[in-house]
Structures are given as structure tokens and as C-alpha cells.
Structure 1
Amino acid sequence: MRTTMRMPAAATLAVTLAASSAPTVARAQSDTPLKGLWKLVSYEVEIRKDGETLPVMGEHPTGYAYFTPEKRVFFVLTGEGRKPAKDDAQRAQLLETLVSYTGKFRLDGDKWIADLDVAWDPKWVGTEQTRTFTLDGERLRVLTPWRVMPNWADKGETRSIVTFERAKD
């Protein structure tokens, strides 16, 4: 004779809920509203000492940000009108119109914190870069904290105001 053991209804419900919610929880942890490819629209710098705002990368900068499902971010941002360098001085000058880095990121409310492991400026490798962001439909607006940026250190403390649109391609 065969016997079957029956689980109490409450235990069955608990096991069912736990099993069905596990994939959802895992998905929610890897999902982020930032996930995907973002195309650079504008890059402005606000100078702290006088409040002046400058389009330091030109009126039409180019670049992308990519936030992966695995929580890695990649940035390659370049200024308008860059031309191939012909000598060391011109190559050095190109660094003034380039921002590029990658690292693992985590979200904290309206901020992301990226732990950089590669960057165009070696001083940034091993640092945490925190950015405040707002999402408005398909537009991402990013604000850096006040700091002295290597590309325009002569301006003193600045903060960047960077705008992206979700890439369609």
C-alpha cells in the first residue's frame, strides 16, 4: 500500500510563492532603468566660482554611454570637430575633448556609483565616480559632483551637465 504525505495548505502556498518569486527577484536585481545604449546630446560644464556654463565639448559632441544588464557602464564621449593629430602636441590636445571610462556600477536612489577599472585618465582608475541622474522619458540627464576635471583644470571646480537620449539603433 502506498502512502502520500500532504503538505499543509499554508506550507504549499509558501513553497509555491518562494519558487515563483525567485526568478523575479533575480531579474529585479539585474534590471535598471539605465540599462541600454544612450547617445550623447550635450555636454556642458558649470564653473563653480561664477556660475558660467560652457559647452566645453562643442555644440555637437559625440559619444555613447552603455549600461549593461551585468551592471557595467561604458562611456566614450568626444568633443565636436576633432581632427587627426599630426604631432605629439596635437595628440596631447585631443585628451581635452575625450572622456572615456568603464567600471561596475550600483544604484542608490537617483545616483549611480561606478567603481572604475579603466579610464582615459589613469588617476581615475580605482576611484568611485558618483553621478546624479534624472530620467524623463527617453532622455537621461546626468550631473557630476563639483570637482577639478583633468580636461579643464584651469577652470577650477566645475560640474558637468551631460544629456543623453536613448539610442534608437
Structure 2
Amino acid sequence: MTPITSSGSRFHQLRAELCRGRCGMLAGIRRRRKFITYSEDIMSKVRLALSFVFPLSFGTSTAFAQLEGTYRLISTTARILETGQEEKYTDETGYITYGRDGRMFVLLVRGKRPKPESLEKMTDQQRADLFRTVTAYSGRYTFDGKTVEHHIDISWNEVFTGTTLRREVKRDGDRVMLTTPPSPRSKDGKMSVRTLTFEKIK
């Protein structure tokens, strides 16, 4: 190290060392900022990619949470579009379940259902009546806060397997009202909408 021969030389040397230290510190800060920005950019891209690969993990899980649970059917009402007349069905019962994993299941029965003496003694007419008075299916579901779609992949009636059923959703506390799109009634062909009211089981 070269000896310091004057106070002026020492002052300039100290200032140079201070500048080098400050410049090094600023360079380090800039490198850290670039690294943080780069890391945030990478994480943003990763989150975006995962949102396409695992859509249930982002956003839709919140919607699922709004419906999650098992509900018991407490009433069914049909409204005829032409007249506005409403009819209540008192002979229907059943349950519907919505899972946080994005799957649902429903089982509904209605009317006077026969009770065979045993499986071995069940008649063809009893089998037909039991089939006619039940609705059951399962599949994925999507919910946007107003409309739920049931994407059916297994059903009591293969006519519905592979189809999508849409229901308008209204919520009132622990109750959920599902309203079907307009469709002709089986008994008279009149266009009507059905509203099924379910209450959450606690």
C-alpha cells in the first residue's frame, strides 16, 4: 500500500474508497431489485399457467364454496308460462349434494312408489313404476353465482348421460332454489318452469 504523504491525499483516497463502497452498494441494490422483479414475473407466469391446468384451484373454488353441502328437497312448484298458474307438488322428496371438488349428486323420488315383497318377487310393472318415479344422476358442476350447470356423466336414464342441465340459482339463507328452463310438461305438453327448493342439512 502506498504511504499517505499528505492530508489532501488521504482525503482524496477516503473519498474514492467511499465512492467505491457506495457504488458497490447501489449496484447490489439494483441487482436485488432486478432479481425480485424477475422472480415476481416468473411467479405471475406460473400462477397463470396453473390457472389453466388446475382451474378448480383458482377462483372457481370460491363459487363452489357458495353451494357446497347437502340439501334436502322441501318443495317443488311448477308455473305454466301461458297462464302464470302455479302448481305445487307435495309428493316429491330427495337430496342434492354439491362438493368442493366440483362434483354433484342428486336423488329425487315422487308419487306412490310400489314396495315389492322382495327382489326375487318383484314384477316387471313394479320395476317400471320404480324407474318412472325416480330421478338420479351425478357429474361435474360449474357455478357462476347465478346459474349452475350439471355436466352429467352417470344417470339412472341414459338419455341424460353426457348432457348438461342448467338451473337458475337463488339463495335465501340455508335455502337454495333451482329453477329449470322452460319445457313442455309430460302430462299435457304445456310449457312450464319448475322450481325446486332445497334446505341445507346442518
Instruction: Tell whether the structures are fold-level matches, with TM greater than 0.5.
Output: yes
Q: Map 1:5-16 to 2 at 5 A.
A: 7-8=32-33, 11=37, 14=40
Structure of larger gyration radius:
2
| Secondary structure in structure 2 of the residue aligned to 1:140 | strand
TM-score, with length taken from structure 1: 0.75
Q: Partners of 2:58 and 2:151 in 1: how far apart?
A: 22
Q: How many equivalent residue pairs?
A: 158
Structure 1 residue aligned with 2:106, among 59, 75, 90? 75
Gaps of 5+ in 2: 1-27, 49-54, 117-121
Q: Map 1:1-169 to 2 at 5 A.
A: 7-8=32-33, 11=37, 14=40, 26=57, 28-31=59-62, 32=64, 33-56=66-89, 58=91, 61-79=92-110, 81-85=112-116, 86-148=122-184, 153-156=186-189, 157-168=191-202
Query: Per-residue deviation at 1:82?
Result: 2.8
Structure with more contact order per residue of length (Cα contacts < 8 Å, sep ≥ 6): 1
Q: Partners of 1:96 and 1:67 in 2: how far apart?
A: 25
1:6-62 deviation per Cα after TM superposition (whole angstroms, max 9, x unaligned): 6229639948x96xx99xx9364323201111111112223334433333461xx32
**Counterpart residue identity of residue 99, structure 1:** T
Asked if 2 retains the 8 angstrom alpha-carbon contact of 1:57 and 1:78, the reply is no
Q: Partners of 1:53 and 1:93 in 2: how far apart?
A: 26
Query: Per-residue deviation at 1:104?
Result: 0.8
Q: Partners of 1:63 and 1:41 in 2: how far apart?
A: 8
Query: Per-residue deviation at 1:139?
Result: 0.5
Distance change in 2, residues 1:141/1:158 (3 Å): same
Please state which structure has a larger fraction of its residues in helix.
Answer: 2
Gaps of 5+ in 1: none
Runs (4 or more) in structure 1 with deviation over 4 Å come to 12-15
Q: Partners of 1:29 and 1:103 in 2: how far apart?
A: 16
Distance change in 2, residues 1:29/1:130 (3 Å): same
